[in-house]
Structure 1
Amino acid sequence: MSNPCIICVAITGSLPTKANNPAVPITVSEQVESTHEAFEAGATIVHAHVRNDDQTPSSDPEKFARLKEGLQKHCPGMIIQFSTGGRSGAGQTRGGMLPLRPDMASLSVGSNNFPTRVYENPPDLVEWLASEMLAYGVKPEIEAFDLSHILKAKEMADRGLLAGTPYVQFVMGVKNAMPVDRDVFDYYIHTVQRLFGKDAPWCAAGIGQNQLTLNEWAIAAGGHARTGLEDNVRLDRDRLAPSNAALVRRVVEICERNSRPVATWQEARRILVLPQPVDAHEGAAA
């Protein structure tokens, strides 16, 4: 294969703490430093949450603003994707950072079970988040925890609530949600290509020990890959991941084994139809 693979690094999330792995970046400065190392290792999208000083999740737009400023300074050209996930806030507070105009934001378009609760994404909130992304020129990444979420994205696109071709990410391995199942994974790909076209880009994320499996499946199948300490804090059963960059380098190795070049930030922006920032250095690391 010659199509470049976009690597997304989910640096922090809402759940892992330094008690789980000391490498989890919590403060804005830690997040910028960790992302910069991952950027140099090959990641071209950063999926970002912010935290309070006590490590609990936050939706504070001021924290997101400081993070965005630091990332643009130290990782020029990298695609910045903010999370609108439900663990960090409730209702419209989940989209309070969208006026900052990040390149992308996650968008869960339906509800599903999580390990200990229901991950609620009611239709009115989903449509409000989508409308805010349209208003501020933010490209959504559709978080598909279930097959119905892919079809919901098609329905929303047909109604003009999503601009352009949706970028769908399959999330597998969350306890009580969709397990890691190869037949389902293949049908997800089939469904995206049937609804959005053979060339529609897609990504996959696996949780915990499933991260490596989904990285391998996605890269071999021509999709894009997500890694990072948000989803998985270990390299293997016996070793904690020393950094987000270490997990990125593992994905780069899988790309090499599958003859997939790793996308530069310029290529990633072209694939996802995102503008090329005029102030980014053309020679910046990808």
Structure 2
Amino acid sequence: MTTPAIITVAITGAVPTTRDNPAVPVVPERQVASAIEAYEAGATVCHVHVRDADERPASDPALYGEVEQGIREACPDMVVQFSTGARGRTIEERFACLELRPEMASFSTGSVNFPTGIYENPPDVVEDVAKRLIDLGIKPEIEVFDMAMLYKAADLLQRGLLNAGPQVQLVMGIKNALPPRESLVDFFAAEIRELIPDATWTCMATGRYQLDANRWALARGGHVRTGLEDNIFYSKGRLAASNAELVARVADLCAEYDRHPASPAETRELLGLPMRAESMGT
């Protein structure tokens, strides 16, 4: 019997623009359409960034709300995960979207160097946001750009500042942070089992290592992420036609590892999120 693998699609991100690949969705209408196509291809979690009119990273809760509402109306059982990432946004701006109470949100538990600056997550901010996530009933996905972030997450959990069973994601391939290496996935998976045994985990890598990271996670019982945020190419020299095309490839890949794309109901059960009527087939 195969085991489920949650497929997360990161539809937009903060870096690629339509000049890099015309398929990158940067306005809410196109983001919703792209999410629907990805859902139909096998993705059950949608990781959302929003952009301003000039395609720069934005923080306007109204934009987040428009994307979330559109996805919810078309795919009620898809999990919508807001990004609280740093590129082009202040600390205060990054977390404004939490007031919309999405089901999930990304959450980095430490600071790290990015190619052109520091992704700042000072200790006081980390602890304040952890408390807000609990108060607002938002499930975090801990983004591990540096292994210290994993140990900080375990510390928060031990102190009651994270709810049990978080989602934890290893992030590889961003310059100055963790390189895309299979040995890191082995180390990460082992540490997760020891430190946070009830966590679900996934790993991702940028650029040409995206598919490698999918394989490494599937082989070890983890979950996967794909999408135009992380890689605008389908293969060397060939731009991806859509987020759905990248999702479909990973969905097909699951069978090689005795896995299958998690259904919406399986995704919600694994993540400890409430079932919706659509997920139960009613």
TM-score, normalisation: structure 2: 0.97
User: What's the CA shift string for 1:120-144, capped at 9, x where partnerless?
Assistant: 1111111222222111100000000
SS of 1:225's partner is strand
Q: Structure 2: which amino acid aligns with 1:150?
A: L
Counterpart of 1:69 in structure 2 is 69
* Equivalent-residue separation in structure 1 for 2:88 and 2:39 (angstroms): 25
Q: CA deviation at 1:281?
A: 6.2
Counterpart of 1:161 in structure 2 is 161
2:181 equivalent to 1:181: yes
Q: CA deviation at 1:274?
A: 0.5
* Equivalent-residue separation in structure 1 for 2:32 and 2:141 (angstroms): 22
Provide the aligned length of Structure 1 versus Structure 2: 282
Residue 283 to residue 146, structure 1, CA distance change in 2 (3 Å): same
User: What's the CA shift string for 1:177-209, capped at 9, x where partnerless?
Assistant: 110122221010000000112x53200111111
Counterpart of 2:236 in structure 1 is 237
SS of 1:209's partner is helix
Give the 5 Å matches for 1:9-88: 9-88=9-88
* Equivalent-residue separation in structure 1 for 2:14 and 2:281 (angstroms): 33
SS of 2:3's partner is coil
Counterpart of 1:201 in structure 2 is 200
Counterpart of 2:96 in structure 1 is 96
* Equivalent-residue separation in structure 2 for 1:236 and 1:261 (angstroms): 23
Counterpart of 1:266 in structure 2 is 265
Q: Is residue 82–residue 102 contact of structure 1 (8 Å, CA) maintained in 2?
A: yes
SS of 1:171's partner is strand
The range that moved more, 56-65 or 158-167, is 158-167
The range that moved more, 260-269 or 87-96, is 87-96
Q: CA deviation at 1:283?
A: 4.3
Runs of 4 or more consecutive aligned structure 1 residues displaced over 6 Å after TM superposition: none
Counterpart of 1:277 in structure 2 is 276
SS of 2:77's partner is coil
SS of 1:261's partner is strand
User: What's the CA shift string for 1:70-121, capped at 9, x where partnerless?
Assistant: 0100111000100011115212221111121111000011111112222111
Q: Structure 1: which amino acid aligns with 2:81?
A: Q
Q: CA deviation at 1:146?
A: 1.3
Q: Structure 1: which amino acid aligns with 2:217?
A: A
User: What's the CA shift string for 1:29-56, capped at 9, x where partnerless?
Assistant: 0000000000000000000011111101
* Equivalent-residue separation in structure 2 for 1:218 and 1:60 (angstroms): 33
* Equivalent-residue separation in structure 2 for 1:254 and 1:221 (angstroms): 14
Q: Is residue 211–residue 231 contact of structure 1 (8 Å, CA) maintained in 2?
A: yes
Q: Structure 2: which amino acid aligns with 1:204?
A: C
* Equivalent-residue separation in structure 1 for 2:106 and 2:263 (angstroms): 21
Counterpart of 2:217 in structure 1 is 218
Q: Structure 1: which amino acid aligns with 2:244?
A: A
Q: Is residue 142–residue 166 contact of structure 1 (8 Å, CA) maintained in 2?
A: yes
User: What's the CA shift string for 1:16-41, capped at 9, x where partnerless?
Assistant: 00011000001000000000000000
Unaligned runs of 5+ in 2: none
Q: Is residue 59–residue 88 contact of structure 1 (8 Å, CA) maintained in 2?
A: no
Unaligned runs of 5+ in 1: none
TM-score, normalisation: structure 1: 0.95
Between the two proteins, what is the percent identity of the paired residues? 48
Q: Is residue 192–residue 200 contact of structure 1 (8 Å, CA) maintained in 2?
A: yes
Q: CA deviation at 1:244?
A: 0.2
* Equivalent-residue separation in structure 1 for 2:76 and 2:279 (angstroms): 6
